[in-house]
């Protein structure tokens, strides 16, 4: 009977991703915690779930030529080594997952709050960046891997942020980038990042493979359904609802 709940949870998150473009890790991890899974299992399983769920999006955006692969490489040059280093520190710096649970809890809470802000103020961030941010290409080439490194640490510790926070950073530092290119580049970077982090957590023993299969059984069909519903349901209604929920959950993790 529990399997049906996990399939339903995968479907709910798949719909959220299909409709809004964000919400994979930020919705799934709290759901798994609500189901009673340990924090490290929720984070590790969600990372592989996100990598597989978003792979189809990479194929679509590649076909549409909406991925800036140069930016994906720059972000990955920072995020993937940072992810690997974080996994190594978790493996050799702590004796058991219980010892780093507090770090994951705090990071998860803060990242959920940041994600909610990125979703809620996305347009304002883009407008602010268009007026005030104008770094030369050479400096951007140095800054972008640093942004990727920050994402790598946050995502590895919390499974959250590969979507909304990465999108916000691209909007701020690349204000002239078209919206479609922002989305395509974000998804193309999120897949190797979450895959690398997920495999790292698999190495740590933090992934429930049966749970992963059940979640994917629900999410993969639901993503395409959500993409169709996105044409009917106003995004201006959905994004504030999602942002408010994530902020509330994040505050709970940080302060309670």
pLDDT, tens only, 156-165 = 998 887 777 8
Q: What is the pTM of this model?
A: 0.85
Residue 69 confidence (pLDDT): 95
Burial class (CB in 10 A: 0-12, 13-18, 19+), 99: exposed
Residue 192 confidence (pLDDT): 94
Q: What average pLDDT does range 94-107 have in this prediction?
A: 88
26/158 Cα distance (integer angstroms) = 9
Whether the per-residue pLDDT at 56 is higher than 80: the answer is no
- How many CB atoms are closer than 10 A to CB 246? 27
* Percent of residues, the chain, with pLDDT higher than 70: 84
Alpha helices in 205-234 (DSSP H): 209-229
Whether the per-residue pLDDT at 230 is higher than 60: the answer is no
Q: What average pLDDT does range 32-41 have in this prediction?
A: 90
Predicted confidence band at 147 (pLDDT cuts at 50, 70, 90)? very high
Predicted confidence band at 245 (pLDDT cuts at 50, 70, 90)? low
Length of the chain as a residue count: 256
Q: What is the mean pLDDT of the chain?
A: 83
Whether the per-residue pLDDT at 22 is higher than 80: the answer is no
Whether the per-residue pLDDT at 248 is higher than 60: the answer is yes
Rounded to the nearest 5 percent, the helix, strand and coil shares of the chain are 85, 0, 15
Residue 72: C-alpha distances to residues 15, 38, 56, 185, 254 (Å): 26, 32, 17, 6, 31
133/22 Cα distance (integer angstroms) = 24
Tokens of 18: 């299909």
251/113 Cα distance (integer angstroms) = 7
Residue 62 confidence (pLDDT): 83
């Amino acid at each position: 009977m529990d399997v049906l709940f996990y399939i339903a949870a995968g479907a709910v998150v798949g719909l959220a991703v299909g409709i809004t473009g964000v919400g994979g890790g930020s919705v799934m991890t709290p759901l798994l915690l609500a189901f009673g899974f340990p924090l490290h299992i929720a984070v590790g399983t969600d990372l592989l779930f996100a990598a597989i769920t978003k792979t189809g999006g990479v194929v679509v955006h590649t076909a549409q030529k909406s991925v800036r692969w140069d930016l994906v490489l720059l972000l990955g040059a920072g995020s993937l080594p940072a992810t690997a280093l974080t996994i190594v520190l978790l493996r050799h710096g702590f004796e058991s997952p219980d010892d780093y649970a507090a770090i994951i809890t705090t990071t998860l809470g803060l990242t959920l709050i940041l994600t909610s802000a990125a979703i809620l103020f996305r347009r304002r961030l883009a407008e602010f960046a268009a007026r005030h941010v104008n770094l030369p290409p050479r400096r951007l080439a140095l800054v972008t891997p640093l942004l990727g490194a920050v994402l790598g640490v946050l995502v590895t510790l919390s499974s959250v942020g590969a979507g909304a926070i990465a999108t916000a950073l691209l909007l701020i530092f690349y204000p002239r980038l078209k919206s479609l290119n922002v989305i395509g580049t974000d998804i193309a970077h999120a897949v190797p990042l979450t895959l690398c982090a997920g495999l790292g957590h698999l190495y740590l023993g933090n992934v429930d493979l049966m749970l992963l299969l059940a979640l994917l059984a629900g999410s993969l069909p639901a993503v395409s359904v959500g993409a169709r519903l996105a044409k009917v349901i106003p995004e201006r209604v959905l994004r504030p609802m999602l942002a408010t929920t994530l902020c509330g959950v994040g505050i709970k993790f940080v302060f309670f």
